[in-house]
Structure 1
Amino acid sequence: MSAPTISPPLHSIPADIRNAQDYAALAPHFMPPAHYAYISGGSGHGQSVAANQTALAQWALYPRLLRDVSHGHTRITLAGEEHAHPLLLAPVAFHKLAHAHGEIDTARAADATDTCMIASTQSSYTLEETASAGGARRWFQLYLLPRREDTLDLLRRAEAAGYRAIVLTVDAPIQVANRRALAAQFQLPPDVAPVNLRGYDIAPRYAGNGPGDSRFFQGAMRGAPGWDDIHWVMSQTRLPVWVKGVLHPDDAAALRDAGVTGLAVSNHGGRSLDGAPSGLDVLPAIRAAVGPDYPLMYDGGVQSGSDLFKALALGANAVAVGRLQLYALSVAGALGVAHMVKLLREELEICMAMAGCATVADITGKALFKPAR
């Protein structure tokens, strides 16, 4: 069987792109199959990836009549920071798998659309290079490294490069195999690596090799983040610290009480515990647990402005888009990502206008309807 033909990235927007979700359909034609399998797949059997789509699809939107939305806008305040719209670019590893310019082009698109980009620790360009390519509105996703001195150095680098918040990701201490990537025989290409981690000791501290030891309980999980790590990170920086990967209301309330700035309600795009619920399904309970004013961000399966609207209606203050940014990047680089953001924002505005919501603050659960199945 001959290898599939992969189109090079375009220098203009394809004529058949009508909405943001169209980039997801085009992406397989612009990425090697193994790269696409890695990006699109989830852990295990992909149950949590599917859960994200199912959770979004179960809701319908009420159109409302005779509402004056002529003063409408999408501006929000998120943990004291002004944003032109409630859409952020979620941290995703290895943008270079989608496009040779990787995070550099994503940062340029974020700057052009006044969008906050959350740069990943596992970027294929350094956090400094990514910062220099974009505007001032950028956050940094932090993974804890085995040695605190290395984590602290990474944190100091993010501060020096002008990142304005830290998003501490704590929900993936065990990396469960991506079956789609395995079937496609995915391997990182020689020119793609987690360059932010060069020079650090990233070998696990615990092997779990004692008699009767489990390589999970006494192995991987012995190096998992704990409460002392949360307090330590907050003590080491003046930047706002968010925690990403929250799915249980009790965890959410405890993190709020610990002084964390805000939470990202997320099942890691279905790439952590397979079978975990969609963040959308637990979002109302988490909102109830933390109260009406505590900052919450959602990510997971978002591909349209109506998806954004649903997450906002169910309790999120902002919504981060993950895979879709890489799909757009693969098709048309920075131009594709900027166009995808523009389409999502316009789709959100259409939903808001038709639902009678002039501002993001007007979007509540009353705007949603769940049909009987």
Structure 2
Amino acid sequence: MKMITNVSEYEEIAKEKLPKMVFDYYASGAEDQWTLKENRNAFSRILFRPRILVDVSKIDLTTTVLGFKISMPIMIAPTAMQKMAHPEGELATARAASAAGTIMTLSSWSTSSVEEVASTGPGIRFFQLYVLKDRNVAAQLVRRAERAGFKAIALTVDTPILGRREADIKNRFTLPPNLLLKNFEGLDLGEMDKTSDSGLAAYVAGQVDRSLNWKDIKWLQTITSLPILVKGVLTAEDTRIAVQVGAAGIIVSNHGARQLDYVPATIMALEEVLHPNHFWIFFFINLKKSTASIAIILATGTNQLKSCSFFV
């Protein structure tokens, strides 16, 4: 393999090696993909104002998240179906996050179960939750994650239906036959419709609870003592409600531009979602090439912002 110097070069290799259906699933956005482009372009409109002659001989990147010390203000976002890209999938990601001293968030739609990920060894892990129409299944997932040692629940709230991803429709995307959504194995929920234009879109339409609302944060708090992060917030109004209902924090996210198109890039929502209370605010960013985007988020924040960056 050639020397890799930035994240974009991994994407180039992936495009060469992965089946087109798989690469397009990982790389594409919803509708016109305006927000997908904006997620990258928005950072180019923000410039540093560097201050000089400051002692930078001792740099400490460590930070604390929900009481857990990690090595840097970067964590691993929930990404579905990782075994489509590599046989080890989420297991390798879990080991890598642990070795790097940071947090991994496991997707509900992972191709390794919470128990399998926990078995890779010690590590700080969060669990990303989609609430299904069968609330008993959602409750089981939360309890399994808690038993497996996961430390927080990241509740995704921006997916009542799947975004219209034209690449998935054209490719008739479905999970490869050798893989399962392992968290649902044995529940008759682990397979996708292979006859639909997008098997994943049909799966979401059939399984995800569209009635999910703010009252359900309270319901979730009755079944777990884990802190709850609300993932998919882009506005000040929703930030205030998240505080009111007792969420531990929010994840500012447009779902990697894969849900509703023509919404702001997450960095553009930063100023709006700042909250004066002791409240955790995390960012979901598409890190394409330069780590400068992470520095921009940290530099743009204020003393009232506790910010770490999720990235895919």
Query: Do structure 1's residue 320 and structure 2's residue 295 form an aligned pair?
Result: no
Unaligned runs of 5+ in 1: 1-13, 204-218, 323-373
Match of 1:95 among 65, 75, 82: 82
> How far apart are 1:134 and its partner, in Å?
4.2
Is 1:273 matched up with 2:263? no
Measured on the aligned residues, the alpha-carbon RMSD in Å equals 2.0
Q: Give how far 1:61 is off.
A: 2.0
8 Å CA contact retained: 2:161, 2:210: no
Matched, 1:180 2:155: no
- How many positions carry a matched residue from both structures? 292
State the Cα distance separating 1:202 from its structure 2 match. 5.4
Give TM-score scaled by structure 2 length: 0.88
Instruction: Render the CA deviation track for 1:261-297: whole Å, top value 9, x for unaligned.
Output: 011000000111111211111111101xx22642111
For residues 30-71 of structure 1, give each alpha carbon's deviation from its aligned partner in whole angstroms, at most 9, with x where no partner exists.
Answer: 211211001101122212211211112211223321110122
Structure 2: 5+ residue stretches without partners: 191-205
**Deviation per CA, 1:294-335, whole angstroms, max 9, x where unpaired?**
21110132233101111222336100111xxxxxxxxxxxxx
Residue matched to 1:355? none
SS in 2 for 1:129: helix
| Change in CA separation of 1:223 and 1:117 when aligned onto 2, cut-off 3 Å | same
Moved over 4 A (4+): 219-222
Decide whether aligned partners of structure 1 residues 177 and 193 sit closer, same or farther in structure 2, where only a CA change above 3 A counts: farther
Partner in structure 2 of residue 299 of structure 1: 284
Which amino acid is 1:306 matched to? A
Deviations 1:144-195 (A, max 9, x none): 1112221111111001111011111111111122112333443321012212
Q: Shift of residue 22 of structure 1?
A: 2.3
Q: 5 Å matches for 1:242-281? A: 242-281=229-268
Q: Is the 8 A contact 1:89 1:117 kept in 2?
A: yes
Task: Give the whole-Å Cα distance in 2 for the aligned partners of 1:143 and 1:259.
Answer: 19
Q: Relative contact order: is structure 1 or structure 2 higher (C-alpha 8 Å, sep ≥ 6)?
A: 1
Could you tell me how far 1:201 is from its partner in structure 2? 6.5
- Asked if structure 2 preserves the Cα contact closer than 8 Å seen for 1:150 and 1:201, the reply is no
Alignment of 1:223-234 (within 5 A): 223-234=210-221
